[in-house]
A and B are shown apart, each in its own frame.
Chain A
Amino acid sequence: AQKVTQAQTEISVVEKEDVTLDCVYETRDTTYYLFWYKQPPSGELVFLIRRNSFDEQNEISGRYSWNFQKSTSSFNFTITASQVVDSAVYFCALSEASGYSTLTFGKGTMLLVSP
């Protein structure tokens, strides 16, 4: 069975600080996909990134970066120079590549960035 753990329930930072959101996953499959979603106060889910299990390269997109480490089953998300608009709930999710897999979410981390 697949499982995603986001141990940080809530994080508060001051604007311009860097912040890392942790994600640890469990799966028996060797092929799987990891996702991060952002949920702003308006409630919609905003897709941020999808990474497959064979691609361990770290990725950077503007102020966002992701560190994927298969050895520790982690897919952590860092926001550099945080801004108030980054305040949201962030979800990490996992989908195995087997034919009957579904998307399993972590419980989310609420990030509050204050001015």
Chain B
Amino acid sequence: DADVTQTPRNRITKTGKRIMLECSQTKGHDRMYWYRQDPGLGLRLIYYSFDVKDINKGEISDGYSVSRQAQAKFSLSLESAIPNQTALYFCATSDSGRYYGYTFGSGTRLTVV
């Protein structure tokens, strides 16, 4: 099994629908992140969580919300999806310890029509 699992892998949804992207990890890392990738823009940080009770907005949080249900689970919600939220979404984890490594999920390709 993958260390960081994102579900679904692909999703097509309609404008105005609420959608949740889920991320779970088996790394035992305390920190989790959601990034969005658009062509030519790299990966931009949406939200991040340094532990279960800590949630922080990233660079592009408008239109998104998150929930850290447990140390291993971090969900991203689009409350009312719009077409310009069509993108590739990545979940990542890291350890707040001395080892500054990041583990990424395989990505969720979201299309809003």
A105 and B42 contacting across the interface, CB-CB below 8 Å: yes
By secondary structure, the A interface counts as loop
Chain A residues within CB distance 8 Å of chain B: 6, 9, 33, 35, 43-45, 47, 50, 52, 91, 95, 97, 99-100, 102-108
Selected interface stretch from B19-27, B73-81, B96-104: B96-104
Contact among B33, B88, B96, B109 for A103, CB-based, below 8 A = B33
A44 and B107 contacting across the interface, CB-CB below 8 Å: yes
User: What's the Cα separation between A113 and B33 when bound, in Å?
Assistant: 32
A45 and B90 contacting across the interface, CB-CB below 8 Å: yes
Residue in B closest to A97 when the chains form the complex, CB atoms: B100
B45 and A102 contacting across the interface, CB-CB below 8 Å: yes
B102 and A35 contacting across the interface, CB-CB below 8 Å: yes
Given contacts A44-B107, A107-B42, A108-B42, contact A102 B33 (CB under 8 A): yes
Residue in A closest to B38 when the chains form the complex, CB atoms: A107
